[in-house]
Structures are given as C-alpha cells and as structure tokens.
C-alpha cells in the first residue's frame, strides 16, 4: 500500500498523473484492504488466547472508529496545508508506519501442514469450502445472515442520510459532517464497552440484545427535524453503531475461536464476500426507493429493516446461551452435538463469567 499510494504524488511531481492511474490505485488498494482484513482477523487467534479474543476485537473496533473520526479531519487539514499531493505523501507514510508496526510482532504463525493431494487447492475450491463451513454451523450461518441484512439496510442510511440532512432539513455541510461522524463515536463506545457488557450480560446474550433492543433508538433517525430535533438523527446513528460494534465483536470472536486454524481464513473470506456483497445492492435499492417513495419514507424502511436484522441472532442458538462458546464446538456437525457442547458452557458460566 505504501508503494501504491506513494505512486500518486510521485506521478504528480513528474507531471504524469492521469485519471487512469487514480482508478488503478483505487482498485488495487481496495483489493489489498480485503486481503488485509481477512488476514488480520485470521492472525489474531495466534496472538491471543481464546478468553482474550473479545477484549482484543473490541479494542481493534475502537481503534477503527477513532481512525474514522480523526482521518477525514486530518486529511482535510493536510490538504489545506500541503495540497492534495502532499496529503497523499502523508497517507503513504502512514502505511509504512503500519507495516513497520506489524513487522515488529514477534509471534509467528505456525506452518499449516498441507494435505498430500498432489496439487495446490484452487481459489474456487477454497471459497466453496469456506461457504460450506459457514452453512453447516448454525451460529456462523445466522451471524452472516445478520451482517448481510444489516449492511443492506445500513448502507441506505449512509447513502441517503446526507441527502436527507441537506435537502430536507437544510443543514449546513459542517453540521452534516458532524452528525455523520457521531457514528464513529458510537463505534468507539461499543468497542471499549464490549468486553464489560459481555462479562456482565453474557457474550451470547449481548450479541442479540444489542441488535434487537439497544439498536431501537435508530428508529429516531427519520424523525429528525429542523432545530434541536436534528439531534434525533445523531442519537439514533450512535445507537446503531454502538449496538453493531458490540454484536460484531462477539460474533467475530466466536468465528476466530471455533474455526480450525486451516479454515479460519477461508471462513472469514466467505463471510466477508456475503456480508459486503449486500452493500451495493442496498445502495441501489435505497436510491430506487427514494426516487419512488421519497427520502424520509425510505429512511423509515431502512431503519426498520436494520433493527429487524437482529432477529437472525435472536432466532439462533445464541438465544439459549449466556456466553458465546469459545471452545471447540465441532461446528462441522450441524446437529445436536454442537448445541449440546454450547449448552455445557452455558451451565458453567462460559468464558464471560
């Protein structure tokens, strides 16, 4: 990423920067970010014990949210001070610092013995294995369905929120940016408090309670109006990001703990393919509905659908557990064995007690 991003200011300085290069940089950096996201989620269980995964994932979520708050404002400041090309230099250097920090980690991932099949497994076969693994585990299956459904509706709010605030409520751009940034505040709060809530309420319980109860203030978003009533948008947006971060921390920790080391990367990639695949669909649906029904009506549909996404977690084995099982559940057996193992953890208080 250092070289990819750094190519932009170099080309600019040489007078050779083109729109095609910018498109290529955007494409390549997006592909690299996908590989990085899958890799770091697969690597975290190597660094942490299973009872530390909730805390580790919560801290990572909080860091991401802090970056979402600080990044745009710092970027705007750097563009003002150094110009766009200078800001890209700073961006490239940040990836160099990141790479240096990662290289300083001394815990090495153990080598996985390969099955002696005579040939390297194809990408298609690995994707198929990951999807099959997700489909066989009831908790993984419902959590992926929850994430995909939530993303479908949340992207509608992210897409139509600025349109609603500017065209309907006639807010100034600065206030619009502030209200949208409040979502990152909810993410920070959710990441910091995820471990505490899991310990007090139960990591399984809080995953579905967060998305069926704590997310309900999100219904206030389309009720926002001029004046102080605009704060309803901010409060609803904070509740959504807070609830989704808490639930996501628990579900990610389960996936990292229960998947065998040689499968976790495939399962994470398969889950991401599904959950992120609904984002463009939600954006298209939101635009079409807003054209046909109006922006406020579409926001009502979006927030109602987003709150209902938590029902995937409610109607899953998580509802009968206190804590998400972080031991071996034999998830490949989609039957009573896995549920009975989880119930035994419930009886002993689980990892969150």
**Per-residue confidence (pLDDT) for residue 336, from 0 to 100:** 32
Torsion-angle region of residue 111: left (phi > 0), alpha (psi -120 to 50) or beta? beta
Other CB atoms within a 10 A radius of the CB of residue 246 amount to 32
Question: Is residue 335 predicted with pLDDT exceeding 60?
Answer: no
Q: What are phi and psi of 119, to 5 degrees?
A: -155, 155
Of all residues in the chain, the percent with pLDDT exceeding 70 is: 87
Q: What is the pLDDT of residues 160-209, one digit of tens each?
A: 998 999 899 988 877 888 888 888 888 888 888 888 898 899 888 998 99
Q: Lowest-confidence range among 113-122, 165-174, 256-265?
A: 113-122
* Model confidence, pTM: 0.78
What is the CATH T-level fold of the domain 2-104+124-344, as seen in this structure?
A: Growth Hormone; Chain: A; (1.20.1250)
Max mean pLDDT range (72-76, 223-227, 272-276, 332-336): 223-227
Q: What is the pLDDT of residues 6-40, one digit of tens each?
A: 888 888 888 888 888 888 888 888 888 877 877 77
Domain boundaries, the chain: 2-104+124-344
Residue pair 29/4 in contact (Cβ under 8 Å)? The answer is: yes
Instruction: Single out the residue of 307, 322, 313, 320 nearest to residue 213, CA to CA.
Output: 307
Question: Is residue 219 predicted with pLDDT exceeding 50?
Answer: yes
Residue pair 215/157 in contact (Cβ under 8 Å)? The answer is: no
Residue pair 317/139 in contact (Cβ under 8 Å)? The answer is: yes
**Per-residue confidence (pLDDT) for residue 111, from 0 to 100:** 67
């Amino acid at each position: 990423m250092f070289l990819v991003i750094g190519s932009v200011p170099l080309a600019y300085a040489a007078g050779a920067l083109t729109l095609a290069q910018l498109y290529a940089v955007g494409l390549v950096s997006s592909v690299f970010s996908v590989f990085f996201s899958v890799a770091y989620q697969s690597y975290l269980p190597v660094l942490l014990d299973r009872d530390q995964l909730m805390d580790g994932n919560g801290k990572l979520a909080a860091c991401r949210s802090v970056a979402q708050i600080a990044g745009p404002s710092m970027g705007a400041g750097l563009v003002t001070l150094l110009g766009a090309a200078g800001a890209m230099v700073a961006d490239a250097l940040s990836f160099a610092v990141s790479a240096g920090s990662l290289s300083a980690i001394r815990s090495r991932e153990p080598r996985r013995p390969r099955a002696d099949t005579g040939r390297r497994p194809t990408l298609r076969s690995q994707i198929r294995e990951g999807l099959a693994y997700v489909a066989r585990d009831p908790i993984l299956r419902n959590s992926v369905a929850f994430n995909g459904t939530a993303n479908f509706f949340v992207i509608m709010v992210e897409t139509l929120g600025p349109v609603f605030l500017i065209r309907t409520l006639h807010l100034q751009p600065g206030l619009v940016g502030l209200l949208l940034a409040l979502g990152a505040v909810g993410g920070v709060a959710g990441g910091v408090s995820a471990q505490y809530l899991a310990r007090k309420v139960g990591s399984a319980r809080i995953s579905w309670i967060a998305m069926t109860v704590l997310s309900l203030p999100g219904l206030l978003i389309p009720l926002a109006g001029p004046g102080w009533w605009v704060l309803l948008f901010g409060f609803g947006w904070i509740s959504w990001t807070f609830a989704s971060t808490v639930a996501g921390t628990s579900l990610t920790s389960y996936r990292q703990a229960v998947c065998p080391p040689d499968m976790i990367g495939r399962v994470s990639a398969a889950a991401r393919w599904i959950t992120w695949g609904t984002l463009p669909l939600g954006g298209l649906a939101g635009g079409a509905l807003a054209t046909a029904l109006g922006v406020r009506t579409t926001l009502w549909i979006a927030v109602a659908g987003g709150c209902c996404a938590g029902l995937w977690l409610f109607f899953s084995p998580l509802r009968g557990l206190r804590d998400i099982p972080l031991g071996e559940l034999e998830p490949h057996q989609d039957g009573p064995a896995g549920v009975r193992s989880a119930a035994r953890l419930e009886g002993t208080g689980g990892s969150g007690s």
